[in-house]
Amino acid sequence: MNIKIFLLLYTIFCVKDSNGLQYDKWYNRSGIVHLFEWKWDDIALECERFLAPKGYAAVQTSPVHENIIEINRPWWERYQPISYKLVTRSGNSAQFSNMVQKCNSVGVKIYVDLVINHMAAEPPNGVVIGTGGSTANPDKKYYPAVPYSYNEFHPTCAIYDYNNPYQVRNCELVGLKDLNQTIESVRKKIVDTMNYLIDLGVSGFRVDASKHMWPSDLKILYGRLKNLSIDHGFPPNTKPFIYHEVIDNGGEAISKYEYNSMGAVTEFRFSSEIGRAFKGGNYLKWLISFGPEWGFLQSQDAIVFIDNHDNQRSKNWNILTYKESKQYKMASAFMLAFPYGIPRIMSSFDFQKSDDGPPADINENIISPSINLDGSCGNGWVCEHRWRQISNMIGFKNIANGSEIKNWWDNGKNQIAFSRGNLAFIAFNGEDKNFDEILQTNLPPGEYCDIISGIKINNRCNGKQITVDSNGKSRIRIASFEYDGVLAIHQGSKL
């Protein structure tokens, strides 16, 4: 297709989804998948073979900049940059650029996990920054590949009090050397690296440790960013999509509401509350009002998730992970069915200890995920985004986009169901007794394939088959012992 014609069609069909993402009607996609620690070549392949066909909108990568190398290669070493070179365990700059182009070409956007609050705890030349002594040399170049000088960092101090915004934003997060974003030279270096990524075709950023930077400084940085590149197929005058990592569970001085005017924000309370509900700590019936009434951000401002790479390793009982797969799939299905927030799917590797890095060979090179016959991953990769119960719900979300909740039903406890307009219907059984009800689905009459237990192939269903009568009603059954505690149908699954 001629690029000018493509851009015209893209501009015509590109509208704002109710969840805040730039929703592209041309590709009809939604949802971010965090391919945690994946190599760039593997992400490129995954965009083409799975993410685009399944309807995912974007990939969040791991940090892209050169990082310090720690003993045993823990996952968190990626969050200790030593330069802004595009060289990591995931690949080099050429591989990164190729990945971005390939994903863009099939309509899957790339969002970079951006670390600009700090540099590594100790520079590679072994000189400790910020000792505060009179022998400190302000002209000494630290992290020489950037380079930064001594005076471009805040003086060394530790964060002891998270109710002190000055301390949280000017002192060192777990000893990492804190950049001073009020200094013009620091701003220029950060903006330059962000604009370089935009030139390569990146379309957004997850800004790591946002609560540790002053909102006024971030606003200045964002105001200097380029528009997305039309050479990579983006409409003219399109701004990068920005979302902030702000852990705000209440009770601290720094609030998520200080950042949502500049972009979306990670809604950590969603993660805690949805996990608590599907673990049995709260009735599912209360989820009818899930959203701002629970103290969450407005829908268009909220990045929502079941878990992320940090809290899946925490000791918080409320957080669901892949290790509790039935409840995890149910919670993920609810997140993708309920019209609140910008959903992000975690795609993990298996870990036993919190510091464990990705699967690697004896030379510490990351091992690529293998793909099993059933579409799941091997070689130590979990790949929740490939689980049928999750990936099929991306299609549910895309079909239901823009429709309202109708026909909410619950049994007063942990059995719930609802439809999305006349486009889709979903039911959950969170109890140790069978779900067996005749319910209004609001769907046209006919036979439907349950996308949780199976998939529609050549107009046949290899899972449960659901009959909807002339009045839009159906007998919905989910036994307590079933592998999945959820059932979902939509107009696209009609046989």
Counting beta carbons within 10 angstroms of the beta carbon of residue 34, is it exposed (0 to 12), middle (13 to 18) or buried (19 or more)? buried
The set of residues, in sequence order, having a beta carbon less than 8 Å from that of 45 and lying 6+ positions away, is none
Number of helices (H), then strands (E), belonging to the chain: the values are 10, 26
Cα distance between residue 288 and residue 409, in whole Å: 9
Q: Is 9 exposed, middle or buried (0-12, 13-18, 19+ CB in 10 A)?
A: middle
Task: Based on the residue annotation, tell me whether 273 is a catalytic residue of this protein.
Answer: no
CA-wise closest residue to 50 among 365, 344, 383, 330: 383
Which DSSP string do the residues of 394-431 spell out, in sequence order? HHHHHHHTTPPEEEEEE-SSSEEEEEETTTEEEEEE-S
Lookup: tokens for 51 = 């993410």
Chain position carrying tokens 């060979």: 361
Query: What's the distance, Cα to Cα, between the start and end of the chain in Å?
Result: 33
Task: Name all contacts of 85-90 with Cβ < 8 Å and 24+ positions apart.
Answer: 85/145, 88/62, 88/63, 88/64, 89/37, 89/39, 89/358, 89/360, 89/364, 89/365, 89/366, 90/37, 90/38, 90/39, 90/40, 90/61, 90/62, 90/64, 90/366
184 assigned to active site: no
- What length does the chain have? 495
- Tell me how far apart the alpha carbons of residues 155 and 158 are, in angstroms, rounded to a whole number: 10
Active-site residue, from 46, 217, 245, 258: 245
Q: What are the residue numbers of the active site?
A: 208, 245
